[in-house]
Structure 1
Amino acid sequence: MIIVPEKEIAGLMTPQAAFEAVEKVFGAMARGDAYNFPVVREALGEGRQYGFKSGLDRVGAVLGVKAGGYFPGNAGRGIPNHQSTVYLFDPDSGKPTAVVGGNLLTALRTAAAAAISIDRLARKDAKVLGIVGAGHQSAFQLRAAAMVRGFEKVIAWNYHPEMLPKLGEVAAEIGLPFEAVALDRMVEAAVIITITSSPAASLMDAHVAPGTHLACMGTDTVGKQEVEPALLARATVFTDELAQSVTLGEAQHAVAAGLIGESDITEIGKVINGDHPGRTDDDQLTLFDGTGVGLQDLAVAASVVDLARAAGSAIEVDF
C-alpha cells in the first residue's frame, strides 16, 4: 500500500494536474463510466461535521472514499479546520492500495472544478473576474481561474471586508490588479466565483450582467445558499452531479421555488464530452453549480499517487 502524507501533497499536485484529473472524471461520470455513492454526513455538535464521500470510476479503475469534515476548534490547535483523508482500493479485489492526505487536495479539486466550468462556459473575451468570498478557498479559486482566461482585473467582496487584503496579495502574486468592491459592482465582471458558506443569498440577480458566467462553489449542504434563485431561472445551469445539485447544491432553492426543474440542469461532463454545446452566445448567462463530489477527491488522490511513484517519494508499506 502507498502512503502519501499531507506534507508531501504541495510538492506533487499542481493546479494543472488537478484540472486534468477532475475534467477526466467529469467526462467519465457523464458517460456512465463512473458514479458516486450516497454521501454520509453527521453533525457532531459544537459546529463539528463529519462525513464520507465515495465512488467508483470503472474506466480509471479507481474505488475509494474520502473521510473528513469541519472542526472549527482546529484554528486554536494550529491546524486547518477542514480535515480529510482519502482511501483508495483495488476495485477488483477490494484490497487497500493507498492512503492520501486530503486537505490540500480538497482545495485544489474544488478550484479545478470551477476552472473547468470557466474554461468550458465563460466568454473567451472575459477580462474581469469577480470573487464573492475571501476565505481559505478563495486563493485557490483565483489561481485556478487565472489559468484558463486572460483576466486583466480582479474585483472581490466579502462579508468580512478585513479579509480581502489577503486575497489581494494573491492577485498581486499573479500580476492582476485587485479592488475590493460593493456587491453591485459585480455587474462589471464577466466571470463571478462565489465561494462562501452562507445560509442566505448574498449575490442578487441585479448584481449580474448578461453574458456572465457564474461558478457557485460554496453550497454543498442542505440550507446553504449563495445566490438569489432568480439567477438560476435566468441562466443556463450546469453542475457536477445532478442528484446533488437539486438536493444540496445551489439549485436546491430554485427547484424548491418551482423556478427550474431537474431537466433544466446539465452535467458539465456532457459539455466536456461534446454532447452539449455549452455557451451558445455572448449574452447568455451560464451558471455552474459546483456541489463537490467524491469522484473528484478520488481522481486527484489517484493522480497524486502516480506522481509520488514517479518522483520516488511514495511511502510503501505492507498492509
Structure 2
Amino acid sequence: MIIVPEREIAGLLGRADAYMAVEAVFAAMASGDARNFPVIREAIGHADALYGFKSGFDRAGLALGLKSGGYWPGNAAKGLTNHQSSVFLFDADTGKCRAVVGGNLLTALRTAAAAAVSINHLARVDARVLGIVGAGHQSVFQLRAALEQRDFTRVVAWNRDPAKLARLSDVAAEHGLPFAAVSLAELGAAADVIITIVSAHEPLLMDAHIRPGTHISCMGTDTKGKQEIDAAIFARASVFTDEIAQSTSIGEAQHAVAAGIISADRITALGAVINGTHQGRTSADEITIFDGTGVGLQDLAVASAVVDLAVTQGVATIVDF
C-alpha cells in the first residue's frame, strides 16, 4: 500500500494538476463513465464535529475509493485546519487498498479547481473584475486559481470580519492587481465573476445585487440548510453544477428547487459543457451559476494524481498491508 502524508502534498500537486484532474472527472461524470455514491454526513455528538464519507468510481481513470473526514470547528484554536480528511484509494480490479493520501490540502486545491473550471468554461471572455465573498482559509486558494482563468484587472471582496480580507489583498498585490474591500451591493455592481465561499445559512448576495452577464461560482454550500445567494437569482440564470442530485438536495440550488423557482431539469452538469454536448454561456448578458457542491470523485481524481507523482518522485512510503 502506498502512503502519501499530508506534508508531501504541497510539493507534489500544483494548481494546473488539480485543474486538469477535476476537469477530466467532471467530463467523465457527464458522459456516464464516473459515478458518485451517496454521501454520508453526520453530526457525531462530540466536539461539535461533522463527519462523513464521499465515495465513487471513475471507470475512465479507474479511480475507486472514498474521502473520510469532516469539520471540527475547534481545530483553529489548536493550530489545526478545521477541515480534516484522508483519501483511500482501492484497486479497481481486486478491491485491495492501494493508497492512503492526506486530504486536507487536496480538498482546498480541488475545491478551488472546480470553481476555476467553471470560470474557464462559463464566464465571459472579457471578464475583468473578480469578486470574492468570504475570506476564510479556502478563499486564498479560490483567488489564486480564479486569477489564472481570465485577464482580471481588479479584485473586490467582502467578509463579515473585514480584517481577514488582508489575506486576499496580499494575493492581489502579488499579481499586481488593485484590491478593494466593498459592500455586497458594491461587489455585485462591480464584479464580472463572483466566487462565494462562506458557511452561511441565509443569503448574502441578493437578486438586486447581480448584473446581467455575471458568472457566480457558489462554493460554500454542501449541506442541507446552507445558503449563500438569494434563490431568486436562479430564476434569471443558467445553472450548472458538479452533480445535479447533490445540487438539488444539499447544494446552493436546494432553496430555489424547494421554492419552485427552478426544477432539476433546469440544471446542467458542467461536464456537459466540457464535453461539448452543451453550449454553456449563450450570450454576454446571460447570468451563469455554478453550484459547486463538492463530490467524492474530485477527491479521488486529485488523490490519484498525487499518488502517481509521489511514486515517480520517490516520496511515497510503501508498506505491506
Tell me, yes or no, whether TM beats 0.5: yes
CA displacement, residues 5-28 of structure 1 (integer Å, 9 cap, x when unaligned): 000000000011000000000000
Q: Which residue of 2 aligns with 1:257?
A: 259
CA displacement, residues 121-177 of structure 1 (integer Å, 9 cap, x when unaligned): 000011000000000000000000011111000000011112111211121122221
Q: Which residue of 2 aligns with 1:154?
A: 155
Deviates further, 75-84 or 132-141:
75-84
Shift of 1:218: 0.4
Q: Which residue of 2 aligns with 1:34?
A: 34
Shift of 1:81: 1.0
CA displacement, residues 151-208 of structure 1 (integer Å, 9 cap, x when unaligned): 0000000111121112111211222211000111121110000000001100011111
Give the Cα separation in 1 of the matches to 2:223 and 2:108: 17
Give the Cα separation in 2 of the matches to 1:277 and 1:184: 30
Aligned residue for 2:202, secondary structure, equals coil
**Does structure 1 residue 279 correspond to structure 2 residue 295?**
no
Structure 1 residues 1-319: aligned runs within 5 Å: 1-45=1-45, 46-186=47-187, 187-319=189-321
Give the Cα separation in 2 of the matches to 1:119 and 1:280: 14
Shift of 1:76: 2.1
Q: TM-score, normalised by structure 1?
A: 0.99
Aligned residue for 2:43, secondary structure, equals strand
Moved over 4 A (4+): none
Give the Cα separation in 1 of the matches to 2:82 and 2:213: 36
Shift of 1:44: 1.7
Give the Cα separation in 1 of the matches to 2:307 and 2:56: 17
Identity percentage of aligned residues: 66
Aligned residue for 1:202, secondary structure, equals strand
Give the Cα separation in 2 of the matches to 1:253 and 1:19: 29
Give the Cα separation in 2 of the matches to 1:2 and 1:110: 24
Give the Cα separation in 2 of the matches to 1:28 and 1:301: 16
CA displacement, residues 30-57 of structure 1 (integer Å, 9 cap, x when unaligned): 0100000000011023421100000000
Give the Cα separation in 2 of the matches to 1:6 and 1:175: 31
Give the Cα separation in 2 of the matches to 1:47 and 1:241: 28
CA displacement, residues 251-281 of structure 1 (integer Å, 9 cap, x when unaligned): 0000000000001000000000000000011
Give the Cα separation in 2 of the matches to 1:280 and 1:167: 31
The runs of 5 or more residues in structure 2 that have no matched partner are: none
CA RMSD of aligned residues (A): 0.7
The runs of 5 or more residues in structure 1 that have no matched partner are: none
Give the Cα separation in 1 of the matches to 2:64 and 2:238: 32
CA displacement, residues 68-105 of structure 1 (integer Å, 9 cap, x when unaligned): 00111212221111100000000111001000000000
**Amino acid across the alignment from 2:223:** T
Give the Cα separation in 2 of the matches to 1:258 and 1:143: 36
Aligned residue for 2:282, secondary structure, equals coil
Aligned residue for 1:221, secondary structure, equals coil
**Amino acid across the alignment from 2:9:** I
Aligned residue for 2:203, secondary structure, equals coil
Q: TM-score, normalised by structure 2?
A: 0.98
